[in-house]
Amino acid sequence: MIQESGWFGVSAETLSLMAVFIFLLTAVMVLLIIALRVRLVFRERREKQFMATWRPRLTAAMFGGPIQEGQIPPSQEFEFLFLWNQMQESVTGESQSGLIAFAKAHRIEQVTRRLLEHGTIRERLIAVSTLGHLKCRDAWGSLRRLVGGDDPVLSLAAARAMTRIDASSAMIFLLPQISTRAEWPPNRVYAILKEAGPAVVSGPLASAAMQVERSAAPRMIRFLDLCYDEHAFPALRKIMGSTTDPDVLAACLDMLRSPHDLGQVRQLMDHAHWRVRMAAAEALGRLGMPHDVDLLVGQLSDQDWWVRRSAAHALVSLPCLNEETLVELCRTISSPQELALLERAMAEEKAA
Q: Pick from 282, 276, 269, 208: which is nearest to 245 by CA? A: 276
pLDDT tens digits for range 146-181? 999 989 999 999 999 999 999 999 999 999 999 989
Q: Residue 132 in contact with residue 164, Cβ under 8 Å?
A: yes
pLDDT number for residue 16: 80
How many angstroms separate the CA atoms of 30 and 127, rounded? 39
How many angstroms separate the CA atoms of 253 and 250, rounded? 5
pLDDT number for residue 66: 84
Residues with Cβ within 8 Å of 137's Cβ and at least 6 positions away in sequence, in order, are: 165, 166
**Three-state SS annotation for 53-116:** HHHHHHHHHHCCCCCCCCCCCHHHHHHHHHHHHHHHCCCCCHHHHHHHHHHHHCCHHHHHHHHH
Check residue 352 and report its DSSP letter.
-
Amino acid at 268: L
How many angstroms separate the CA atoms of 114 and 123, rounded? 10
Q: Residue 248 in contact with residue 275, Cβ under 8 Å?
A: no
For residue 5, give the 3-state DSSP assignment: strand
Domain 256-352: homologous superfamily in CATH: Leucine-rich Repeat Variant (1.25.10.10)
pLDDT number for residue 8: 55
How many angstroms separate the CA atoms of 199 and 20, rounded? 75
pLDDT number for residue 9: 60
pLDDT number for residue 1: 39
Domain ranges of the chain: 256-352
pLDDT number for residue 10: 60
> Which segments in the chain show pLDDT lower than 70?
1-10, 41-42
pLDDT number for residue 192: 95
Strand positions, DSSP E, the chain: none
| Cα 257 → chain centroid | 23
Label residue 185 left, alpha or beta by phi (over 0 means left) and psi (-120 to 50 means alpha): beta
Residues with Cβ within 8 Å of 149's Cβ and at least 6 positions away in sequence, in order, are: 155, 158
